Amino acid sequence: MALPNPTLAAIRYGYGLRPGEEPPRDVEALLAQIGQGASERPRFPREGLSGRLDTATRVISLLAAEAKARRAGNPNEDVRKATQGEARRIYRQDAMARLAQAIHSPLGFYERLASFWVDHFSTSVMKSLPMRMIVPLYEAQAIRPRIGGSFTGLLSAAILHPAMLIYLDQDKSVGPDSAVARRTGRGLNENLGRELLELHTLGAGSGYTQDDVRAAALILTGLSVDNRAMQVVYEPRFAEAGPVSLLGRTYQDDEGDGQDHVLMLEDLAANPKTAQHICGKLVRHFIADNAPEELVGAMVAAWTKSHGNLTEVYRAMLGHPRAWSDPGRKIKRPFEFMVSGFRALDLPERNFANLLRDMDDGDEDESPVQKAMDMAGMAARQDTRKKAGRANALTLGALQRMGQPVWQPPSPAGFPDEESVWLTPSQLSERISWARTVARIFGQKMEPSAFLEAALADAAHPETGRVIAQAPSKVHGITMVLASPEFNRR
């Protein structure tokens, strides 16, 4: 099936056009990206999955040892500060790698799907210091390999990951009548049970009750995190004994050999309301804030027929005529805006790597030895800090100001996806400021009209082309392209 517009495929379903990169030819080309992307190792965590597990467990052990010493009256501020600094650097490196992954990958649809699902199953690096290392691992380990398979598999991998349990305090939850509760007085935490029903599966307004939220939380008791191995474990002494009824099914405490939570996840994944909720959310993310009912219906039918095979759901979405009509109905969120900007500028990988190096150099420049340097050294240090500040202003700092910092959603619901949130005076001001800065640094040798063609191709309005051709300078012209309505929409 030929696409009505390959440009629309790159902009609506990817991260935009990049000079020298051919847009997807058809639906099958878009779908082929899913298997290819899942088989490739992402750029983060920087030391790989097993290496990150080793790093996270080491840092957690150091923090636990320092906390124990602090309680005993022997605090070690050097260890604490060094550990915090290491976690901060690891997060920055991973966040920049996450940005580079989206900018430089030719698999735009796969990358957009990965961002969608990480947002759907939101966790945050701001929960705790160790989460700065665990959340990137979560995306690489639980989400990315499974976005083309069954929803059941993706749901289970996301929910039963240390990042999710820590983020929603499941590691602190115990059954009210469990052995641990009777001994310690600890109680039930309903966070994960609530978000599982409201956000991850059935959706708000689907008819579940507070009793269902509590039932889901009770079924989840027993799940905890072994910090020494950074693995999810099942602790029977934390679990609520006896049968629990949820949405018409009774889960026995001995059913599935202590795996009632797995059975519950399978049942929720198979619930028709889950299909309706997820399909509607996919359409609202990719196509329009007001999802066309006929398109959602086609996707739900594909979900039902394939038993939740996500590739078939995407196929139904992409194969529908409404998927290729009315371009520009979605505003790009800040991450999408920045990534598509860097892609249009065709920023070489070495240039992006230099931005991270500048930020790392600025961080390392805080050492006591360098603080005691002579005047020449002081000037060099100021130059290093200036470069670090500029690199941050172009990347992670800009995303922070625009409201979408990497792996820092404002709530378990993830980042908003509605135009009203991102199309505001302050938001547009930040985008124009970023466009002006990036144009001044990377666009001074570009012809604005050629950049317009590279960034938007046939998606550019003729009037925009005429305005750009009359720009008083190259920097001004590049800025105008990045700030144009066509570039900020998809």
* pLDDT tens column, 420-434: 999 999 999 999 999
DSSP string, 448-480: HHHHHHHHHGGGS-HHHHHHHHT-SSHHHHHHH
Closest CA to 226 of 162, 139, 164, 172: 162
Q: Are 21 and 6 in contact (CB under 8 A)?
A: no
- The answer to whether residues 131 and 166 touch, using CB atoms and an 8 Å cutoff, is yes
What's the pLDDT score for residue 3? Answer: 64
- Residue 1, number of CB atoms within 10 A of its CB: 9
Question: What is the rounded CA–CA span in Å between residue 116 and residue 109?
Answer: 10
Q: Quote the CA–CA distance of 348 and 236 in Å, as a whole number.
A: 53
pLDDT of 384 reads 87
Q: What is the mean pLDDT of residues 362-391?
A: 69
For residue 62, give both structure tokens: 């150091």
The reported pLDDT for the residue numbered 362 is: 81
pLDDT, position 375: 60
DSSP 139: I
Residue 385 binned pLDDT confidence (cut-offs 50, 70, 90): confident
| pLDDT tens-digit series, residues 108-137 | 999 999 999 999 999 999 999 999 999 999
Token code pair at residue 205: 């307004």
CA distances from 96 to 101, 103, 235, 353, 390 (A): 8, 10, 37, 9, 14
369-397 mean pLDDT = 77
pTM for this prediction: 0.94
pLDDT more than 70, % of the chain:
95
> Taking residues 260-288, what's their average pLDDT?
97
**pLDDT category of residue 376 using cuts at 50, 70 and 90:** low
Q: DSSP assignment of 296-344, as one string?
A: HHHHHHHHHHHTSBHHHHHHHHHTSGGGGSSTT-SBPPHHHHHHHHHHH
Average pLDDT over every residue of 5-14? 96
Task: Determine the average pLDDT of the residues in 25-29.
Answer: 95
pLDDT in the model for residue 242: 85
* Residue 23 pLDDT: 96
331 - beta bridge partners?
A: 489
pLDDT tens string 222-269: 999 998 889 999 999 999 988 999 999 999 865 446 789 999 999 999
Mean pLDDT of 288-306: 97
Q: pLDDT tens digit string along 206-224?
A: 999 999 999 999 999 999 9
> Which one-letter amino acid corresponds to residue 271?
N
Among residues 94, 67, 83, the alpha carbon closest in space to that of 360 is found at 94
With bands split at pLDDT 50, 70 and 90, how would you rate the model's confidence at 468?
very high
Strand, coil or helix: 225: strand
Q: Which pLDDT belongs to residue 365?
A: 47
Q: Over the chain, what is the mean pLDDT? A: 93
Q: Domain residues of the chain, as ranges? A: 44-103+122-290, 334-488
Looking at residue 254, its pLDDT comes to 57
Could you give the count of Cα atoms lying within 13 Å of 360 in the half-sphere of its Cβ?
A: 16
Please choose, from the candidates 246, 250, 220, the residue with its C-alpha nearest in 3D space to the C-alpha of residue 235: 220
Q: Is the pLDDT assigned to residue 374 strictly greater than 80?
A: no
Per cent of the chain over pLDDT 90 is 85
How is 76-120 classified by DSSP, letter by letter?
-HHHHHHHHHHHHHHHHHHHHHHHHHHHH-S-HHHHHHHHHHHHH
Instruction: Give the pLDDT of residue 48.
Output: 96
Look at residue 351 and tell me whether its pLDDT is greater than 50.
Answer: yes
pLDDT number for residue 372:
54
* pLDDT for position 403: 97
CA dihedral 127, 131, 135, 138 (to 10 degrees): -110
CA distance 81 to 91: 15
pLDDT at position 379 over 80: no
- List CB contacts of 368: < 8 A, sequence separation 6 or more: none
| pLDDT tens digits for range 137-147 | 999 999 999 99
Q: What pLDDT, on a 0 to 100 scale, did the predictor assign at position 197? A: 98
- Evaluated on CA atoms 234, 237, 238, 244, the torsion sign reads positive
Instruction: Assess whether pLDDT exceeds 90 at residue 366.
Output: no
Average pLDDT over residues 61-77: 91
- Whether residue 45 is preceded by a cis peptide bond, meaning omega within 30 degrees of 0, is yes
Residue 377: pLDDT band with limits 50, 70, 90: low
pLDDT of residue 131: 96
Judge contact between 398 and 338, C-beta under 8 A. Answer: yes
